[in-house]
Amino acid sequence: MSEAALEPSAAPPAPSALQLALTFNRIALASFGGGLSAWSRQVVVEERGWMTDEEFLSAMTICRVLPGANQVNLAVFVGTKLRGAQGAIAAVAGLIALPIAIVLGLGALYLAYHRDPSVEAALRGVVAASVALSISMAYKAGRKALKSAVPWLLFAAAFFFSAIDRVPLLLLLAVLAPLGLFWAWPKRRAT
129-159 residue pLDDT tens: 888 887 887 888 788 778 888 888 998 898 8
Report yes or no on 2 lying in a domain. Answer: no
CA atoms within 13 A on the CB side of 45: 20
Report yes or no on 5 lying in a domain. Answer: no
Q: Give the Cβ contact number of residue 61 at 10 Å.
A: 13
Contacts by 48-51 with C-beta closer than 8 Å and gap 24+? Answer: 48/15, 48/23, 49/12, 50/15, 50/78, 50/81, 50/82, 51/78, 51/81
Higher pLDDT, 77 or 11: 77
Same domain? For 134 and 163 the reply is: no
Report yes or no on 31 lying in a domain. Answer: yes
Write down the pLDDT at residue 6: 46
Same domain? For 115 and 151 the reply is: no
User: Could you read off the pLDDT of 85-122 as tens digits, one per residue?
Assistant: 999 999 999 999 998 998 899 899 989 988 888 888 88
Same domain? For 153 and 118 the reply is: no
User: Distance between CA 167 and CA 185 in Å, rounded?
Assistant: 26
Same domain? For 134 and 165 the reply is: no
Please tell me the pTM assigned to this model.
0.57
Report yes or no on 80 lying in a domain. Answer: yes
- When divided into structural domains, the chain yields a total of 2
Write down the pLDDT at residue 11: 58
Q: Which of 121, 133, 15, 124 is nearest to 71 (CA)?
A: 133
Domain holding 81, by residue range, is 12-143
Same domain? For 104 and 57 the reply is: yes
Same domain? For 37 and 86 the reply is: yes
Report yes or no on 165 lying in a domain. Answer: yes
User: Distance between CA 34 and CA 68 in Å, rounded?
Assistant: 17
